[in-house]
């Protein structure tokens, strides 16, 4: 099975306070991107980074020593993850892979077991339009609603001002899409995707329940800690403590 890894990485790391592009910010002395590549390189033969134009030269110089199979697309304005993924879509589909993995650039706590399980689930269920891990969170930042049959029916986002349950089901910032889901379904969804009430961004997560109403979407549980991204100095400190606790700063 051929896979492309698509990494939206156009964030400037403003909340993190890093002088570097977020994807190059060190975590335990290594750029975030290096952690991501170490985790997913065994499954994905090509990598597409979506970057801000102002950061492209610095990111290309930074990644050159890590992997010469990385291609860059540009997202000129911070209009949301949906638009970031659409910006990288053409490169991710050329040459056409069997599956496309998408991960946020700061999801460095995804474990080897989770990546392996994602590959196993998608291989065992080839008709799945999307496969991704979720975790239970208290309090949740993201929560997926499900219908009586367990199918995804909606998503709530705290940053958009949605009412949140005490305990929620969150994504872990890692997703596997079928070729058709990225090539056909996502652009179709994008034609009617609204901007968030709180951020005015076009979010990717609402695509998943929309897709689930049209095609099989499979999820599996992972530990809550794997969902932690690096958005603030406090997040960075917690992630580094976790990595060190796992041994040699490597998950």
Q: Is residue 31 one of the residues assigned to a domain? A: yes
pLDDT at 13: 73
Q: When comparing pLDDT for 250 and 226, which is higher? A: 226
In a domain, 137, yes or no: no
- Indicate the number of domains in the chain: 1
pLDDT of residue 114: 98
Query: Model confidence at 18, in pLDDT bands (50, 70, 90)?
Result: confident
User: What is the average pLDDT across 207-218?
Assistant: 98
Q: What is the pLDDT of residue 251?
A: 45
In a domain, 148, yes or no: no
Lowest mean pLDDT segment, chosen from 32-36, 58-62, 159-163, 207-211: 58-62
Q: Where residue 112 sits, what CATH number does that domain have?
A: 3.90.550.10
Alpha-carbon separation of residue 17 from 27, 32, 168 (angstroms): 14, 15, 29
| Three-class SS state of 173 | coil
Each residue's pLDDT tens digit, 125-149: 999 999 999 999 999 999 999 999 9
Lowest pLDDT segment from 15-29, 86-100, 159-173? 15-29
The pLDDT tens digits for 147-175 are 999 999 999 999 999 999 999 999 999 99
Over residues 94-121, mean pLDDT: 96
In this predicted structure, the answer to whether residue 15 has a pLDDT above a threshold of 90 is: no
pTM over 0.85: yes
Residue 219 domain-assigned (yes or no)? yes
Query: Which of 25, 28, 87 is CA-nearest to residue 52?
Result: 87
Query: In the predicted model, what is the mean pLDDT of residues 78-93?
Result: 96
Q: Mean pLDDT across the chain, nearest whole number?
A: 93
Per-residue pLDDT at 248? 53
Kindly indicate the confidence band of residue 14, based on its pLDDT and cuts at 50, 70 and 90: confident
Residue 239, domain member (yes or no): yes
Cα angle for residues 21, 25, 29 (degrees, 5° grid): 155
Report if residue 156 sits inside a domain: no
- Residue 39 exposure: Cα atoms within 13 Å on the Cβ side: 28
**Residue 165 counted as domain residue:** no
- What is the residue range of 37's domain? 3-129+171-246
Pairing of strands 30-31, 26-27: antiparallel
User: What pLDDT shows up at residue 90?
Assistant: 97
Mean pLDDT, residues 111-134: 97
Question: Is 229 part of any domain?
Answer: yes
Distance between CA 132 and CA 212 in Å, rounded?
12
């Amino acid at each position: 099975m051929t896979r492309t890894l698509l990494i939206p990485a156009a964030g400037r790391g403003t909340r993190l306070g890093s002088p570097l592009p977020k994807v190059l910010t060190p975590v335990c002395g290594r750029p975030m991107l290096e952690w991501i590549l170490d985790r997913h390189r065994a499954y994905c033969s090509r990598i597409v980074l979506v970057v801000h134009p102002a950061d492209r030269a610095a990111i290309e110089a930074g990644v050159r020593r890590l992997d010469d199979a990385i291609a860059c697309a540009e997202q000129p304005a911070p209009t949301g993850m949906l638009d970031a993924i659409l910006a990288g879509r053409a490169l991710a589909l050329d040459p056409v892979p069997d599956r496309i993995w998408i991960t946020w650039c700061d999801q460095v706590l995804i474990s080897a077991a989770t990546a392996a399980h994602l590959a196993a689930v998608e291989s065992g269920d080839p008709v799945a339009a999307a496969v991704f891990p979720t975790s239970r969170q208290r309090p949740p930042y993201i929560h997926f609603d499900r219908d009586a049959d367990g199918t995804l029916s909606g998503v709530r986002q705290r940053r958009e001002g949605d009412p949140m349950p005490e305990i929620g089901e969150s994504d872990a910032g890692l997703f596997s899409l079928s070729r058709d889901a990225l090539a056909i379904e996502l652009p179709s969804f994008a034609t009617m995707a609204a901007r968030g009430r709180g951020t005015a961004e076009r979010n990717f997560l609402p695509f998943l329940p929309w897709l689930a109403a049209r095609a099989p979407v499979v999820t599996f549980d992972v530990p809550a800690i794997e969902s932690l991204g690096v958005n603030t100095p406090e997040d960075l400190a917690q992630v580094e403590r976790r990595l060190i606790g796992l041994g040699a700063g490597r998950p």
